[in-house]
Chain A
């Protein structure tokens, strides 16, 4: 029942966002769109970090693959600037998933810190390609995209593009929610909690982790396609380690293993970084402070805060119960 209430709150919040955004100032619309693209990336990482217990530091690689694919198709082959935008969207997902399928062969063997290091190295390989393969990627200059696609509707309009990104985001959230609630998702959680036991129970844990890794890559690729058209520029510094770290921080800040946590983290970081930074020069301290406070006092992220409030309320609402709990403690 509680679960259903959570879903209703999320749906309500998203509807509110959908209705309110078009009335915001044009810069805020762009920022919200950035936050949504980051949210897709953060959610994809959450599948690994939060549900499977695999701390990946290479998620930017898939974003980069999707983004560079979009940019290269658009500038060198004039592809993806009309209705075939949808084709590029699918291709972006596929290229992200394919890259993850390849990287997964190396990464999935490891766990913990070793997994972190391998994904970091693989992610930096993609950055190296982007930076060095001048003829294809434009090197350090990156690639400037032509104006956004037009096919009856004009994506160059920021509000329209917001709707497209919002649609992709909503579909991602829904599919990922179904995924984590499915038996497959449950088995991932089982792997996170105790992999040897899952293995003894007869699960092929390697395969489960591998599939989760590939799925996360696919959503990363999707975020990349949307990112490329949003920013209008694909640059190696998008693929850099800092983007992966950002995604990781978003998930941790919002609360790993909640899906929605990544979204909250993304929104918070984008606005602190791109909105607060335009008002005060000491915004970096605020961001740092938020990180430290979250890690010290909210190991479960901001979603953990909600959870904590709810529990306290439940306790105060039924004092006898609280009394009982206390007596158990003593």
Chain B
């Protein structure tokens, strides 16, 4: 009885709703651009979420709140750092607020959760931070409305692995947060490092959010040349401190989030000399970045992190598209196609997108130094760029088809051949 009823009624009503929704969004399109933004605003990642939205809002303020004549309505929703909540909030943004596109998601798992929503509800999704590899690799076909404006987790770590070889490191211990992002960062590093002759001799996976590394640090092999760490959020602060307390003085390399500017100002001098790799450093010595850092710092009282830069650049990229359409919303499919063609001289450096809609940009190898920069009068920790790998794609030197043949980096891949 129920199923017979819904067959007819549901179909008609659904169509009615769809029609109403479509006409609504078309009316909205002429006058304004509605952008949804999903980031953790409560919970342990709340501060990162704030950095993210600050970046976008700063650009919006700079252009007076409109992109080429389209007034931007910017709606921030709190994901609480949980993928299912992010999905519910995306549904709300699309259904209730009629947004034309949505941005954000912090954790890799959130990225994997949000992409199917974009497909299901046919709305553009721009992961500006969520770096889950497969969104723009093996699963890219499933998500035709996803354009990544941030990075893939393994992208900076391929060149970083090669760099580690050049330094003469032979045996490295890897310790990384136990979730998708951790596997992909460590995996990328391991792949490139072992391809040029290095050996990862041990992999340790503390859970995401670990504060006490007491059980892990003593198990690290004593005869390694260096340590590769991948920490996220509050973990980043604890690990180097506890490493120093344990008296370990080996060189430390880190995935980008281990030492990015979100945690750097709160770190102690024990991190001086640690090296990490990412597509952005606040210490990048270009006029564009100097202006960005000064302005951001004046406005929000802190040095911008890559979370801020990525969202600032995302706003800039959307603006580029809207300039071409003279403020008219071109429709989801056309928007995605146009965004994928944007070439930008961004704060992080030149950015283009590859044919799987992921940025090709510079990767910076950064060493932490204590110094004065940009005319600030205090000695502070900065991620000084010591080497630039220009225009790095997510496939590094492996080539797209060759790279996509291997499975996505995980706990099991690449296998730990040299583990002792």
Contacts and interface: CB of A to CB of B under 8 A. Distances in A.
Check if A and B associate.
yes
A26 B94 CA distance: 10
Contacts of A160: 6-7, 10-11, 14
Given A27-B92, A157-B14, A232 B179 contact: no
Contacts of B10: 22, 153, 157, 159-160, 163
B116 to A, nearest CB: 5
The interface residues of chain B, by DSSP majority, are classed as helix
Interface stretch (B77-85, B214-222, B282-290, B393-401): B77-85
**Size class of the B contact interface (CB-based, 8 Å):** 35 or more
B92 A232 contact: no
B419 interface: no
B88 interface: yes
A325 interface: no
Contacts of A281: 41
Nearest to B412: A134
Given A157-B14, A163-B10, A278-B96, A27 B179 contact: no
Contact of B116 (A139, A158, A232): A232
Given A140-B180, A144-B116, A232-B117, A164 B96 contact: no
B411 interface: yes
Nearest to A159: B10
Interface residues of A, number: 37
B27 interface: no
B109 interface: yes
A13 B84 CA distance: 29
A27 B92 CA distance: 6
Interface in B73-100: 77-78, 82-84, 87-89, 91-92, 95-96
B91 A27 contact: yes
A274 interface: yes
B120 A30 contact: no
B117 A163 contact: no
A278 B412 CA distance: 40
A205 to B, nearest CB: 38
The interface residues of chain A, by DSSP majority, are classed as helix
A75 to B, nearest CB: 12
Interface string A148-180: 000011101111100110110000000000000
Given A22-B9, A160-B6, A163-B5, A233 B14 contact: no
A231 B114 CA distance: 11
B272 interface: no
Contact of A140 (B5, B14, B91, B179): B179
A147 interface: yes
A23 B109 CA distance: 34
Given A27-B92, A164-B2, A278-B96, A232 B13 contact: no
B88 A237 contact: no
B204 interface: no
Nearest to B4: A153
Nearest to A34: B88
B331 interface: no
Interface string B1-21: 011011101110110010001
A113 to B, nearest CB: 27
A152 B6 CA distance: 11
Nearest to A277: B78
Among the interface residues B41, B42, B82, which one has the most CB atoms of the partner chain A within 10 A? B82
A144 to B, nearest CB: 5
Nearest to A156: B120
A194 to B, nearest CB: 41
B14 A152 contact: no
A160 B3 CA distance: 8
A154 B14 CA distance: 11
A176 to B, nearest CB: 18
B9 A233 contact: no
B258 to A, nearest CB: 19
B113 interface: yes
A27 B96 contact: yes
Contacts of B132: 141
A140 B120 contact: no
17 contacts: A22-B13, A26-B17, A27-B95, A30-B95, A140-B178, A140-B208, A141-B112, A141-B179, A153-B7, A157-B11, A158-B14, A159-B13, A163-B5, A164-B2, A231-B87, A232-B87, A274-B92
Interface of B: 2-3, 5-7, 9-11, 13-14, 17, 21, 41-42, 77-78, 82-84, 87-89, 91-92, 95-96, 108-109, 112-113, 116-117, 120, 132, 178-180, 208, 410-412
List of 6 A-B pairs having minimum Cβ-Cβ separation, nearest first: A160-B10, A163-B6, A27-B95, A140-B179, A27-B96, A167-B2
